[in-house]
Amino acid sequence: EIVRIARDTTLLLCAAVWLAACGHSAARRANPALSELHVTSGTLTRAADGTLQIRSSMRAESELKADRVKLELAYLGAADTPQPLASGEIRRQIGIKLRARDSCNVVYVMWQIEPRSAIEVSVKSNPGLHTHVECGDRGYQFIRPELAVDVPAITLRVQRSLAARLQGRQLEVFVDRTLVWRGALPASAFDFDGPAGLRADNGRFNLRFVAE
């Protein structure tokens, strides 16, 4: 009887582990199809090798709510036709969107390339507003980190990675697997929710997008 109970317990544990692994696999999106990415601004295409291609400013969301997102990217240079931000600044950058309800309510993790190399985290919160026409560049809160280190400048055509990991209110950002930013998001970041996504401004990139 003791042997049977032990055997049954082992089978149940194995089943639980298998189900957990399946659930994790089902929730993971590595380089999703274009049909799984909702482009809200600009253009996103796929290269012959399967990587995603960005050639100018672009905004997109995936179909997955995720607290862990990674971009594996190669920077190919400035966009042919620069577009200023709403503030009027022309900045080259690429980044991750978290909890992206819409254009007015989203958490940004941005890797600035020009005019300087830096990680910037911000929460854009505009309760009751949903489109860029409604909110423009209003509602930004730039988050002061508890830890921040210098980020090596990006080099043309060299593979790099940017990853964000959100656990509760604590956000960690990694560049090339090295922790470069850590801080707590404000309560306003949790007044809304939505999927993960990506954003680029005034740069050309080839990349893979992984969310889980």
Alpha-helix residue ranges (DSSP H) falling in 28-145: 132-135
What is the four-CA torsion angle of 111, 105, 133, 92, rounded to 10 degrees?
A: 0
Q: Residue 35 — very low, low, confident or very high, per pLDDT cuts 50/70/90? A: confident
Q: What is the pLDDT of residue 59?
A: 96
Q: What's the confidence (pLDDT) of residue 8?
A: 52
Does residue 57 register a pLDDT over 80?
yes
Report d(CA 59, CA 46) in Å as an integer. Answer: 15
What pLDDT was estimated at residue 25? Answer: 39
How does residue 82 score in pLDDT terms, banded at 50, 70 and 90? confident
Q: What is the mean pLDDT of residues 135-141?
A: 94
pLDDT in tens, 154-203: 999 999 999 999 999 999 999 999 999 999 999 999 999 999 999 999 99
pLDDT for res 26: 41
Taking each continuous run of H as one helix and of E as one strand, the counts in the chain are 2, 16
Is the separation of the CB atoms in 148 and 119 below 8 Å?
yes
pTM for this prediction? 0.84
Q: What are phi and psi of 67, to 5 degrees?
A: -100, -5
Residue 126 above 80 pLDDT? yes
- Mean pLDDT, the chain, integer: 88
Tokens of 99: 């909890």
pLDDT range class, residue 22, cuts 50, 70, 90: very low
| CA 66, chain centre distance (Å) | 9
- For the cut 90, the answer to whether the pLDDT of residue 135 exceeds it is yes
Residue linked to tokens 């939505």: 194
Starting from the edge strand earliest in sequence, which strands make up the sheet with 197-201, in order?
38-41, 58-61, 197-201, 92-102, 105-114, 118-124, 140-142
What is the band of 28 on the pLDDT scale with cuts at 50, 70, 90?
low
Q: Which of 22, 63, 105 is nearest to 209 (CA)?
A: 63
